[in-house]
């Protein structure tokens, strides 16, 4: 049976397998998870990690995931990884889980900015899809966190 390959030559089935395995290892054996991720080509690591449902991991596994991002994702891609996680954590109650995660991960101002941008984008898209987009929709966590983390609001 021939494996389905994505445009970039990566095996979709292999990626799903690696993500499922890492998901299990993060909760039981961080060192094995780190070794497994390290054995993958560097250009595939972020994609594999982002297949894991971060919000379904227990707190210890979430911390392990954040450590893997810090240890094995290239510096120029880390902010994007944290932004991806943040967008998964936004829920009906707001941005509280995002704040907790970014504090626990000791996110840098750059990572916080990327997270704020991504969560704001996700929320605007979600509100727009539901028909609930109003002027007041944009006054929550992302804007406040941008000001807190960078010291100023970015002008456009």
Q: Assess whether 87 and 150 both reside in one domain.
A: yes
Residue 7: pLDDT band (50, 70, 90) is very low
Q: Assess whether 52 and 25 both reside in one domain.
A: yes
pLDDT digits (tens, 9 = 90+) for 34-47: 999 999 999 999 99
Which structural domain range is residue 53 located in?
10-73
Total count of domains within the chain: 2
The closest of 145, 47, 153 to 103, measured between CA atoms, is: 145
C-alpha to C-alpha distance for 139 and 156, rounded to whole angstroms:
17
Does residue 65 form part of some domain? yes
Report pLDDT for 9. Answer: 59
C-alpha to C-alpha distance for 153 and 156, rounded to whole angstroms:
10
C-alpha to C-alpha distance for 153 and 123, rounded to whole angstroms:
19
Tokens of residue 47, six digits: 């994609």
Report pLDDT for 139. Answer: 52
Tokens of residue 128, six digits: 């727009």
C-alpha to C-alpha distance for 113 and 60, rounded to whole angstroms:
25
Q: Assess whether 82 and 124 both reside in one domain.
A: yes
Residue 148 has pLDDT above 60, yes or no: no
pLDDT digits (tens, 9 = 90+) for 62-83: 999 999 999 999 999 999 999 9
């Amino acid at each position: 049976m021939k494996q389905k390959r994505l445009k970039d030559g990566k095996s979709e089935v292999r990626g799903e397998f690696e993500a499922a395995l890492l998901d299990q290892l993060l909760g039981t054996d961080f060192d094995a998870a780190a070794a497994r991720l390290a054995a993958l080509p560097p250009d595939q690591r972020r994609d594999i990690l982002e297949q894991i449902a971060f919000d379904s991991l227990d707190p210890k596994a979430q911390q392990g995931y954040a450590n893997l991002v810090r240890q094995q994702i290239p510096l120029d891609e880390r902010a994007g990884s944290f932004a991806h996680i943040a967008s998964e954590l936004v829920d009906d109650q707001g941005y509280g889980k995002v704040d907790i995660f970014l504090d626990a991960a000791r996110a840098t101002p750059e990572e916080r900015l990327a997270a704020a941008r991504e969560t704001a984008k996700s929320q605007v898209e979600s509100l727009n899809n539901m028909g609930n987009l109003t002027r007041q929709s944009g006054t929550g966590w992302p804007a406040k966190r941008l000001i807190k983390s960078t010291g100023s609001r970015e002008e456009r």
